[in-house]
C-alpha cells in the first residue's frame, strides 16, 4: 500500500507541474484604501498575480517522475 501512495503522490506532482505551464500565475484580488479622510473612505480592488517560476514547475515534474520511478522500481 505504501508503494502505491508514493506513485500516487508522484503522479499528482507531475499533473500539477503540467497544469502550472498553462496557468501563468496565481491570481488574487486585494483591496486598497484610496481616500481615507475623516468619515469618507474609498477603496479600490486591484487584481494581482503571483508568478510561477519555471524552476518550480520543473522541480514539480522532476520530483514527481522520480517518485513514480522509485515506486515502480521497489514494487517489482
Residue 61's Cβ-count burial label (10 Å; 0-12, 13-18, 19+) is: middle
CA distance 31 to 46: 6
Residue bearing the bigger pLDDT, 60 or 74: 60
Q: Which domain holds residue 66?
A: 2-75
- Is 1's pLDDT higher than 60? no
Q: Residue 75: is its pLDDT beyond 70? A: no
Q: pLDDT per residue over 13-61, tens digit each?
A: 999 999 988 887 888 999 888 887 878 888 889 999 888 888 988 999 9
| Phi-psi map region of 38: left, alpha, beta (phi>0 left; psi -120 to 50 alpha) | left
| Cell numbers placing 17 | 507541474
Total domains present in the chain: 1
3-state helix, strand, coil in the chain (%, to 5): 55, 35, 10
Residues in the chain: 76
Q: What is the pTM of this model?
A: 0.67
pLDDT of residue 76: 61
Amino acid at each position: 500500500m505504501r508503494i502505491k501512495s508514493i506513485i500516487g503522490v508522484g503522479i499528482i506532482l507531475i499533473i500539477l507541474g503540467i497544469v502550472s505551464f498553462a496557468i501563468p500565475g496565481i491570481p488574487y484580488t486585494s483591496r486598497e484604501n484610496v481616500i481615507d479622510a475623516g468619515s469618507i473612505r474609498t477603496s479600490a480592488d486591484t487584481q494581482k498575480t503571483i508568478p510561477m517560476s519555471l524552476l518550480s514547475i520543473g522541480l514539480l515534474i522532476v520530483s514527481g517522475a522520480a517518485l513514480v520511478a522509485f515506486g515502480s522500481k521497489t514494487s517489482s
